[in-house]
Amino acid sequence: MAACPIVTIDGPSGSGKGTISRAVARRVGWHLLDSGALYRLVALAGTLAQVDPHDPGRHAALAQHMAVWFGTRSDGGEEVRLDGRDVTAEIRSEAAGQGASRVAAWPEVRSALLGRQRAFATPPGLVADGRDMGTVVFPGADLKIFLTATPEERALRRHKQLKDKGSDVSLPALSREIAGRDLRDQTRKVAPLKAAPDACVIDSTGLSVEAVTGRVLELMAARRLWP
């Protein structure tokens, strides 16, 4: 039995999970778990500590012991700290996403992050964003969403997001990287990206952030999770 109500939002890169999870959490006043950020932080911690990039055990130890802090800046933007250092911009690059997808395929790293992720479930409630939130981390969640969009739209969204953050990446190169990351996330042996059997699938292609957020809030209301 979870300590609080939980809504999970899983899906592939660029499906809008991050934006929608943040909007829903803010609207209902619940906590937010950005599990992808934890995998990004493990990959970055490994690079900073100059750990062998092929050593799952050393990365799992970092996953367990790294000091992580998630906060909000005065302008409303996110702030992420790793062992006291501001890594907000660093973890959002596509290279950090690729690193995250690589370390996320190791079972040792995934189990080292399990307890950390479950600890986010505190009252009044949790919106958990990731790839295996509804299947592995919170299988008893009160509402499970699986968010999708066409590969073209997902690449365009990621491209815009990266450009807005000042990163100059070509759209065809980004499309190839996203396709590679999706394939690795979907075909890994442990906790692959897939919809839970009891998940509500939302195809966000062509839909605004407000429309998708509204749909999730409707589903929450139908389950008496909110208001």
How many residues of this chain bind ligand DC (CB under 6 A)?
Answer: 14
Q: Find all residues with CB under 8 Å of 142, minimum gap 6, and list them.
A: 2, 5, 6, 7, 223, 225
Lay out the site mask for ligand DC across 94-133 (x = CB under 6 A, - = otherwise): ---x--xx--x-------------------------xxx-
Residue window 48-87: x/- pattern of binding to ligand DC, with contact defined by CB under 6 A: ----------------------------------------
Of 35, 135, 175, 204, the residue at the interface with ligand DC (CB under 6 A) is 35
* Shorter beta-carbon distance to ligand DC: residue 87 or 100: 100
Sheet order of strands, 126-130 included: 31-34, 126-130, 6-10, 143-148, 200-203
Smallest gap from residue 94 Cβ to ligand DC (A): 9
Place of tokens 């493990």: 42
Q: Is 148 in the site for ligand DC (CB under 6 A)?
A: no
Q: Please, are residues 128 and 22 in contact by the beta-carbon 8 Å criterion?
A: no
Q: Are strands 68-72 and 78-82 parallel, antiparallel or unpaired?
A: antiparallel
Give the Å distances, CA to CA, from 115 to 6, 36, 65. 16, 15, 12
Residues found near ligand DC in the complex (CB under 6 A): 13, 35-36, 39-40, 97, 100-101, 104, 130-132, 181, 185
